[in-house]
Amino acid sequence: MMRAFAITIAALATAGVAHLQVWIWLKSAFSLSPRAGRAIKAALVVASVLPVVSRLATHVAQSSWLSGVYAIAMTETMIVLISALPIAFVRLASRVAARPGPPASPLAAAVAGDALSIPLGRRQVFEGIGGSLVLGSTSSVLGYGALRGRFDYVVEEVVIRLPGLPRALEGYAIAQVSDLHVGNFVQQGELERGLSRITGCRADLLVVTGDLIDFDPAYVPMMAAALAKFAPRDGAFAILGNHDYYAGADAVARGLKSAGVTLLRNEGRIVRPADGGGFALLGVDDLWASRYGADGPRLDRALSMVPDDRARVLLSHQPASVDAWAGRVGLQLSGHTHGGQVNPGFRPADFLMRYVAGRYQVGATQLYVNRGFGVVGPPVRVGAPPEITRIILTSA
C-alpha cells in the first residue's frame, strides 16, 4: 500500500512539473488574455491529475470508456514529459538569440491565435514557434505510436543453433510471446488481432515469457481465454513476470491452469523425449519475485528435474538474469524490456539496460529478448513494434 501511494505521489509530482513548464512557456510566448490564461491553466491542472484519477476509476470499474480516457490522459502526459525539456531549451535560446527589433506584423499575430491581445515581439515569436514545433512533432510521433505503432504486430523468425539438440528435432519451431499486459490497454480486440499471428508460425511449442497481466487480476479470465485457443503439438508453457506479481501471482497461475498452459516456477520438463532424448525446457521465477514472498529464480532447482546431458532452453522474464548463469543453458528466452517501447530515432533504453531487444551472446549462452506484445505506461509504441517470435532450433 505504501509503495503504491509513493508511486502515485511521484507520478503526480512529475506530471505537475512538466505541465507547469508548459504553462510557463505559454505565458512567456503568447500574450494571453486573462480569460484564456485561466482556461488554459485549469486545463493543465486537470491534465496533470487525470492519469491518476482515471487509473483509479478503471480499477473500480472495467469500462472501455474509462480505459479510453485513461489512454488519452497517459498519452498526453507522455507528450508533455518528453516536450518539457526541449521547450525549456527553446525558451533559453530565445533569450540568447533575440535582438531588439520592431513588433511582429499583424499577420504573425493573427496566425498565433485569437488569444493574443498585443503584437508579439521577436523573442515571443521565436519562443512560440519553437515550442509549438516541439509539441507538434512530439504529438505526431506519439500519436502515431498510439494509433498505429502499438498494433503493428510483427513475426520475427530467428534461427538458433542449440548445442546438444538431437538431429530428430532439427527445425523444431517455438513460438514466443511475451509481456501481454492484458488490462486497460490490451483487451479482447488486441488479443485476437495480435495473437492470431501465432497460428501462422506453425509452431511445435508455445512459450509465454511473463507479464501476462498488467495490474488488475480482473483481466485474468480474458487472458486465459485468449491463450486457451492455442494448442501446439507439444503444448504451451509460461513463466511469471514482475507485473504478474503486481496483479497477484496466484490468480495468474490459476488462469493459466484453466487455459491448459503449464506454468514453470523453477521447474524443468523434457520436450519430445522419444526423439533422441528431446531437450530440456526450463522456467524460473521472476527476478523480483522475492519481494512478494516467493523464492525468486532458482535455476538449480529447475535443472534438478531434468537429465544433465540434455540441450537446455530457459524461460526467464528479465534478460538481466542471464548474467547469473551464463554458460549453464544453451538458450535463454526473455522479455520485460518492450524493446524500449518508445524509440524516437534512437533507443533510450540502451542507456539503462544491457539487453534490450534481439539476440545477444553471453558467454556460452545465447539470449533472445522479445520486444513484447502489449504496453506499459502510455499506450504507445514507437520504433519497437509488438513482436511474436518464431524460433527455429537447429543442431549445433
Instruction: Please give the domain boundaries of the chain with CATH numbers for all domains.
Output: 2-147 (no CATH), 155-395 (3.60.21.10)
- Helix segments in 228-337, DSSP class H: 242-247, 249-258, 299-303, 322-325
**C-alpha separations of 237 from 212, 268, 271 in Å:** 12, 11, 11
Give the pLDDT of residue 6. 65
Retrieve residue 302's grid coordinates. 529447475
Give the pLDDT of residue 294. 93
Give the pLDDT of residue 111. 46
Are 211 and 373 in contact by the 8 Å Cβ rule? The answer is no
Single-letter residue type at 199: T
**C-alpha separations of 100 from 96, 122, 128, 190 in Å:** 11, 8, 17, 55
Closest of 56, 51, 52 to residue 73, by C-alpha: 51
Per-residue pLDDT in tens (0 to 9) along the chain, 396 residues: 455 556 667 777 888 889 999 999 998 888 888 899 999 999 999 998 898 888 888 877 777 788 889 999 999 999 999 999 899 888 888 777 665 555 545 544 444 444 444 445 677 888 889 999 999 999 999 999 999 999 999 999 999 999 999 999 999 999 999 999 999 999 999 999 999 999 989 999 999 999 999 989 999 999 999 999 988 999 999 999 999 999 999 999 999 999 999 999 999 999 999 999 999 999 999 999 999 999 999 999 999 999 999 999 999 999 999 999 999 999 999 999 999 999 988 999 999 999 999 999 999 999 999 999 999 989 999 999 999 999 999 987
Give the pLDDT of residue 115. 42
Closest of 339, 374, 1 to residue 214, by C-alpha: 374
> Mutual orientation of helices 188-195 and 220-227 as an angle, nearest 10°?
20
pTM: 0.87
Question: Edge-to-edge strand order for the sheet containing 154-162?
Answer: 154-162, 387-395, 172-177, 205-209, 236-239, 262-263
Q: Residue 365 pairs with which residues in a beta bridge?
A: 362
Helix (H) or strand (E) holding 216: none
Distance of CA 288 to the CA centre of its chain: 17
Are 244 and 254 in contact by the 8 Å Cβ rule? The answer is no
